[in-house]
Amino acid sequence: MVERVDVVVRASVSSSSSSSTRRSRTRRRVGFARGAREARGGGEAARRTTVAMGRRGGKRAGDRYVEHELGGYAIEGVSVGGQETSIVVPRLGVAFDSGRCPQRCVYADVMCLSHTHMDHVGGCGMYIATRGLLSLEPPTVLLPRERAGAFATFIESLRALDDSELRHEAIGMVPGERYKMSKLFEIAPFKTTHPVPSQGYIVYGTKQKLKARYAGLDGKAIKQLRDEGEEVTDKIEVPQVAFTGDTTAAWVDDPANADALRAKLLIMECTFIDDSVSKEDAERFGHTHIDDIVARADKFAENEAILLIHFSARYKSEDVREALKAKLPKELYEKCTPMLVGYD
């Protein structure tokens, strides 16, 4: 069972109003990828990357977003270590973390919080409030169960300041539990290591497949079996997207996290890339060093693409590109893309 905190009953709307809201939401999402231009990144995967400017064409990180086409998904967002992280998967309607709530994040129906440091959770109030302002459905926020009570207190404080409802549903979860988004997708947390309670998330694609022993039956016979209460299908699930949030590299070594290493797209932190911070200090801070990734290079063989995020703000984009090219084994380098908006 998942723990539900601050569950809010959604306001009822007429069918015409509901249809209008869905059309409006669709138009906004279609607009996500427009106005893109090419950008250069790390390996071969990075050459399929585009960077798009916000409506005002500003130069600040808050006025732009980066879009990557990786593992069959468009990925948008920004991630600068210690400043802000918010990663959006528009096709799934999911966002991971909300440090400052970039505009693109607002249209995600589900927010998965890896932990509650401010550069990952500080934008949640704006995320919830803006969805209300735009008449979007109250969002669902998934977060580590140990922080569910504190998050509820956080939102209550914002309600008092903003004098608004901030309608949403917060669900405290632990590894081993599932959140069912739809018939096709489920979300499961997995264990990570950080100074505060933390967890990563895997989005599974699910489908039903007819059991092999019924393969020769026609539709009428299968229907009859179903009517008799027989389970005629097996549930097939494939890990589509995995997100680590802030963590040491220890999650890679945990057999319970094997599905994250099978995900088509792995979004993984890589805070430190040089000797200015040692692997030991990175681990003490609860973060991943590039040398940790190099030491486990063979573990990522099944990931189709890897998006590296959360580089320390001390680095410039060229520092990151050079470090990845110099240190990562060629096969791993070719599937890695760095998220570098905000580093120039």
pLDDT at 4 over 90: no
Indicate the domain borders of the chain.
3-337
The reported pTM is 0.80
Long-range contacts of 253-260 (CB under 8 A, 24+ apart): 253/296, 254/190, 254/191, 256/175, 256/190, 256/191, 257/190, 257/191, 257/200, 259/188, 259/190, 259/202, 259/204, 260/190, 260/200, 260/202
- Taking the CB of residue 118, how many other CB atoms lie within 10 A of it? 12
Residue 1: is its pLDDT beyond 60?
no
Q: Which residue has the higher pLDDT, 40 or 20?
A: 20
Confidence of residue 45 (pLDDT cuts 50, 70, 90): very low
Domain formed by 3-337, architecture: 4-Layer Sandwich (3.60)
C-alpha triplet 230, 233, 235: angle, nearest 5°: 130
Grouping H, G, I as helix, E, B as strand and the rest as coil, residue 104 is: helix
Q: What is the dihedral of CA 276, 278, 284, 288, to 10 degrees?
A: 90
Nearest to 203 by CA among 89, 48, 288: 89
Interhelix angle 148-162/124-133, rounded to 10 degrees, is: 50
Token pair recorded at residue 179: 């959140």
Structure tokens belonging to residue 290: 């590039």
Instruction: Round to whole Å and give the CA distance between 63 and 89.
Output: 18
Could you list the beta-strand ranges (E) of the chain: 3-5, 36-38, 49-53, 64-70, 73-80, 84-89, 94-96, 110-112, 140-144, 169-173, 179-180, 185-191, 199-210, 233-243, 265-269, 305-309, 336-338
Q: What is the pLDDT of residues 294-332, one digit of tens each?
A: 999 999 999 999 999 999 999 999 999 999 999 999 999
Element (H, E) at 279: helix 279-285
- Whether residue 219 contacts residue 205, with contact meaning beta carbons closer than 8 Å, is answered with no
| For residues 119-145, average pLDDT | 97
Quick one: 67 exposed, middle or buried, by C-beta within 10 A (0-12, 13-18, 19+)? Answer: buried
Q: Report the percent of the chain where pLDDT is more than 70.
A: 81
Tell me what pLDDT residue 23 has.
Answer: 41
Query: Which H or E run includes 317?
Result: helix 317-327
Reported confidence tier of residue 65, pLDDT bands at 50, 70, 90: low
Tokens standing for residue 155? 């939102």
- Mean pLDDT for the chain? 84
Cα–Cα distance, 327 to 289 (Å, whole number): 11
